[in-house]
Amino acid sequence: MTFSDLKLIKPLVLALDKIGYTTPTPIQQQSIPAILEGRDIFGCAQTGTGKTAAFALPILQLLDSNKENNKQRSIKALILAPTRELALQISESFKDYGYNLRLSHTTVFGGVSQLAQTKALRAGVDVLIATPGRLLDLMNQGFINLNSVEHFVLDEADRMLDMGFINDMKKVIAKLPAKRQTLFFSATAAPDIMKLANTILKNPVHVAVSPVSSTATLVDQSVFYVKRENKRNLLKHVLKSNEIEHVLVFTRTKRGADKVAKDLNNDGIKAEAIHGNKSQGARERALKGFKNRSIRVLVATDIASRGIDVDKLSHVINFEIPEVAETYVHRIGRTGRAGASGTALSFCSQEELSYMKDISKLIKKSIAVSKHPFS
């Protein structure tokens, strides 16, 4: 199947060709036709399944087809995301996919001055990508009016609830027109998620891909059993003895991420850490450097990593094993995407053996053990 088979217009197909996307993922195949028909969607999908394109492409097409009736530039599509990183990632996708269309979009999020954001809003935008806090703030100040919204996307709804945004979400939803299309995406279908979905969706099409227990089939997984104090040397050894040009390294804590990045830089390996305590500017610079490959290693915590979407990422390293087995699946899903192969390496110390056991149980397979020169 091709994107043309999904009845996408030529400007979108050409934009996808330009960035090397040729085959739609399962969630795109299921979602795009339904969204183009104007249906509401309940999508159960994790990061890495192609869900951003699943909603961005049909929204761009619907807005483009209706532009004669919408000559006045007002917010016609609102995408609500839990974090700045994810909001920026979605914004980048709209930029890439809408390259050949005369539609404007902007992103609003907290942690930075609102001046550039309000300037863009005054100029008029078709698509607004926002985090809940800053969106409500700008609505209260009178910079944002949601009366013209035709398409509303709630992305990573499970994380929204985890981060305590339920009341903010409800305030935003209350300001939306009753007549609209709503697209709801979550990595889980937990009872509280379903309860929220049922209050805002009308006769939705349900789409689901990749249950959390399934790890990417194209990811080659292996584990190194190593003493905690030898992990630094093992990381240096792995990076220098394998031809790993570009790697995402996971730690459990912000402090751990900073320490790993500092140690790598001291060893002459260009690395940056990304986590919640970093300024917005520092996070954006780190992500940009990683994407353009001027930074070889990006060290991330799990929270900060949501929204990191890097094409052709060959390796993921679990410097520390996550305490929750599902998190392992999310982590290694960063590689082996879109038909490419990938490698996930895990460094497991004595204290983390129980976590590794939980992971094997969840993914229903034992992970190959790799030998190394450190005990």
Nearest-angstrom CA–CA distance, 6 and 311: 23
- Judge whether 12 and 61 are in contact, CB under 8 Å: yes
- Judge whether 201 and 182 are in contact, CB under 8 Å: yes
Nearest-angstrom CA–CA distance, 23 and 229: 44
Determine the 3-state secondary structure of 82 from DSSP: coil
Residue 224 pairs with which residues in a beta bridge? 347
- Judge whether 223 and 356 are in contact, CB under 8 Å: yes
Enter the tokens of residue 362: 């969840």
What residues does CATH 3.40.50.300 cover in the chain?
4-208, 219-369
Determine the 3-state secondary structure of 63 from DSSP: helix
Residue type, 338: A
Q: What is the model's pTM?
A: 0.64
Dihedral angle at the C-alpha atoms of 259, 260, 263, 267, nearest 10 degrees? Answer: -170
Q: What is the pLDDT of residue 327?
A: 78
- Judge whether 297 and 240 are in contact, CB under 8 Å: no
Residue 333: name the closest of 186, 216, 210 by CA.
216
Sign of the torsion formed by the C-alpha atoms of 24, 30, 34 and 39: negative
Q: What is the pLDDT of residue 48?
A: 62
Superfamily of domain 219-369: P-loop containing nucleotide triphosphate hydrolases (3.40.50.300)
Per-residue pLDDT of the chain (375 residues; tens, 9 = 90+): 889 899 999 999 999 888 777 788 889 999 999 999 999 999 988 666 788 999 999 999 999 988 766 567 899 999 999 988 788 888 988 998 999 999 999 999 998 999 999 999 999 999 999 999 999 999 999 999 999 999 999 998 988 887 889 999 999 999 999 999 999 999 878 788 899 999 999 999 999 876 555 555 678 999 999 999 999 999 999 998 777 888 999 998 888 999 999 999 999 999 999 886 777 778 888 888 988 889 999 998 876 665 566 767 889 999 999 877 777 887 888 886 655 678 999 999 999 999 899 888 888 888 999 988 876
Superfamily of domain 4-208: P-loop containing nucleotide triphosphate hydrolases (3.40.50.300)
